[in-house]
A and B are shown apart, each in its own frame.
Chain A
Amino acid sequence: MPDTLLRRSAVIGSLLTLVAIVSGGLVSATESAAVCTGWPLCAELFTSPATPALWLAFGHRIIVAFAMVVALFIAAMVWRRPDLERWVRLPLLIAPLFGLVEVAAGGIMVALGLYEAINLAHLGLALLMLGAQAVGTAALLQPVPATRAGGRATREARRLSGLAWWTAGATGVLALALSARILGDPAASAASALPINAGGALAMAGMLASGTFWQTWRSRRGDSLLIGVAAAVLLLILIEIPLILLPPAAAGMGVGLAALVWGAALALAVLALRRPLPATMPVVAARPATDEAPPLWKDYLSLTKPKVISLLLVTTAGAMYLTEAGSPSLWLVFWTMIGGYLAAGGAGAINCAFDSDIDINMGRTSRRPVPSGRISRRNAMIFGFVLSALSVVVMLVFTTPLAALVSTLGIFYYAWFYTQWLKRSTWQNIVIGGGAGALPPLVGWTAVTGELSVAALLLFAIVFYWTPPHFWALALVKQKDYARAGVPMLPVVAGEGETRWQILVYSVILVALSLLLTAIGAMGWIYFGGAAVLGVLFLQSAWHVWKRGDQASIWGLYKYSLLYLALLFVVMVIDRVMAW
């Protein structure tokens, strides 16, 4: 019985805190806070005519008071239950502390009239209170399963939980960023000092929520609760998109919605680790070749090489935030991503059509749709042409002519120059072919500015010099495949020692060039610090490849190089946003 009371109280407490945040958002959006000049009581209730603003401000205080009482009640119950596990006790004990500081911040805000300066801390503390309650309540409602699952299932669960934490973080930032929009003068809000605006935070939250949903679907599709929560998180973030386009006063709803997503994502992060794990994980690699073929739409999607494109789009989007023009509009980013995907996907499909004779001889690629006969070369080619043509239209209509030109150049570079000629004729294939993969940052840059600059060309050079260490690491591991397929990759033509040496040299040039952005003043010292740390790790991996040359060090470099490029662009964006 006491457990039932605690569970119900925890759920009610979380909901009350959420309602308090929603009502707070409405108070800010309607500028009702100043109606009550006293604190904690509102004397105007008895001396002034009862207006909606007055009732809203007073109602918010009443709800906050209720939420505090319930949070303290829960904390008292938890305090008396040392048998409860740490994940339940700690958050539920901390929650009222956040609440008390938040209430105090509210008092200072009213007493001193510092609405713009303190609103961020006020909301942030409320979110922390809600977050603590969401984590504690989820842990309370979902005990740890008695049976332990295998290593792979646990790894997948941790991955899902990690993604959900990141999604929660992004939605928390989104809620804070939205709070600036609902004030009369957003620039005066402390939230304007955040390193990202509401549009950027929404885009990031959307990407992370999509990833979380995908991971849930992939690893826990039998668990309807997890799937439901992950889908709800994604859906609520999608609902935020039209809300963000509404007038600032209506953005109060957006803050409440973001707070709801924040709580739901945190609950998902906890549930992912505590829900019973599936007895058998869906196995992809071990599936026999005689298995049923994947659906046709999946085959066509795979022709576009979505995994490769994701990194290209990171560099495209990153470059869009680095220009002198400031933060681009969300719509421009959206259409550039669409156009970029279509261009890279179209080029990828054409590459699959041309390369089917090579792909069939390589273990890594032999099960692609064209070499395995599920899609004909002709259809793959038509598909590639259609996507490429669409990309040109999208880029021309929604971005700039130069961005469209660079994007189209990228299609020809990859699909013909690299695929048809370089790849089959010279060990320099990856070096010169790297130019195709280095074009996306130029697409992003020119989509915003309509022109090129030295900084943009440096971004090109960074990706260009990143390509050989990355792909030669893969080629070292898969050199027998390349030899069988007749591709003159450097390890096949010149041997492992030469390849490992050139990987090291290219890595040194790459790291040096990455620091050039600070030297010419295009990036600040925050970027320099980040790039230096990432670069040292890259050089360490390349050094290990050169000195040891074992599979572990080669795979280590291959995997780290993917992370390196993504993080380098993230650090660039952080540096740029901090400078705004």
Chain B
Amino acid sequence: MQILLFWAIVAVCLIGQALLIHAAWRLRRQTTELPAGVPQSHGASDLAWTVGTAVLTGVLLYGSFLALSA
């Protein structure tokens, strides 16, 4: 039961992270005019933050898997 739950959570996180990375990729190319005084966010950095978060979440899931297996 716990194993099933774990893999279901992994699947949800994978899909969620893929959607977030896709959103960051889309926004990277967006060139909307921002209100005066609002700095333009650096697209590549934003994407890097998103990917970095996804990787760390993956590491946490791997750690969880090890805890589950122990």
Chain A residues proximal to chain B, CB less than 8 Å: 424-428, 431-432, 454-455, 457-458, 461, 483-488, 492-495, 498, 501-502, 505-506, 508-509, 512-513, 515-516, 518-522
Contacts and interface: CB of A to CB of B under 8 A. Distances in A.
A516 B38 contact: no
A454 B39 contact: no
12 contacts: A425-B45, A426-B42, A432-B49, A492-B38, A501-B23, A508-B12, A512-B8, A512-B12, A512-B16, A519-B64, A520-B6, A521-B2
Interface string B29-48: 01010110111111001100
A138 B20 CA distance: 57
B13 A519 contact: no
Q: From DSSP, what is the main secondary structure of chain B's interface residues?
A: helix
Given A454-B63, A520-B68, A521-B68, A461 B57 contact: yes
Nearest to A464: B53
Nearest to B49: A428
A520 B13 contact: no
B9 A521 contact: no
Nearest to A514: B9
B23 to A, nearest CB: 6
B63 to A, nearest CB: 5
B58 to A, nearest CB: 11
B55 interface: no
Contacts of A518: 2, 5
B41 to A, nearest CB: 5
A457 B60 contact: yes
A429 B63 CA distance: 26
The 8 closest A-B pairs by CB, nearest first: A486-B37, A512-B12, A509-B16, A483-B35, A519-B6, A519-B5, A428-B49, A454-B67
Given A425-B39, A502-B23, A506-B20, 6 more contacts: A495-B32, A502-B20, A505-B20, A513-B13, A516-B64, A518-B2
Contacts of B60: 454, 457-458, 461
B8 to A, nearest CB: 8
A455 B16 CA distance: 21
A485 B63 CA distance: 41
A436 to B, nearest CB: 14
Contact of B9 (A484, A486, A498, A516): A516
Contact of A426 (B17, B41, B66): B41
Q: From DSSP, what is the main secondary structure of chain A's interface residues?
A: helix
A454 B67 CA distance: 7
Interface residues of B, number: 37
Contacts of A485: 37
A418 to B, nearest CB: 13
Contacts of B30: 494
B32 to A, nearest CB: 7
Contacts of A432: 49, 53
B53 A521 contact: no
A74 B68 CA distance: 61
Nearest to A502: B23
B38 A488 contact: yes
Contacts of A521: 2, 67-68
Contacts of B3: 519
Contacts of B50: 428, 431
A487 B46 contact: no
B54 to A, nearest CB: 10
B11 to A, nearest CB: 9
Contacts of B42: 425-426
A458 B37 CA distance: 38
A498 B38 contact: no
A263 B25 CA distance: 61
A492 B64 contact: no
Contacts of B63: 454, 457
A127 B13 CA distance: 49
A492 B41 CA distance: 11
Contacts of A513: 9, 13
A501 B22 CA distance: 12
A425 B41 contact: yes
Most chain B CB within 10 A, of A457, A486, A493, is at A493
A493 B49 contact: no
B7 to A, nearest CB: 9
Contact of B16 (A487, A495, A508): A508
Contacts of B12: 508-509, 512
B27 A427 contact: yes
A317 B32 CA distance: 44
A136 B9 CA distance: 52
A505 B6 contact: no
A518 B64 CA distance: 11
Nearest to A517: B64
B64 A520 contact: yes
Contacts of A487: 38
B41 A493 contact: yes
Contacts of A493: 27, 32, 34, 38, 41
A431 B47 CA distance: 12
A330 to B, nearest CB: 30
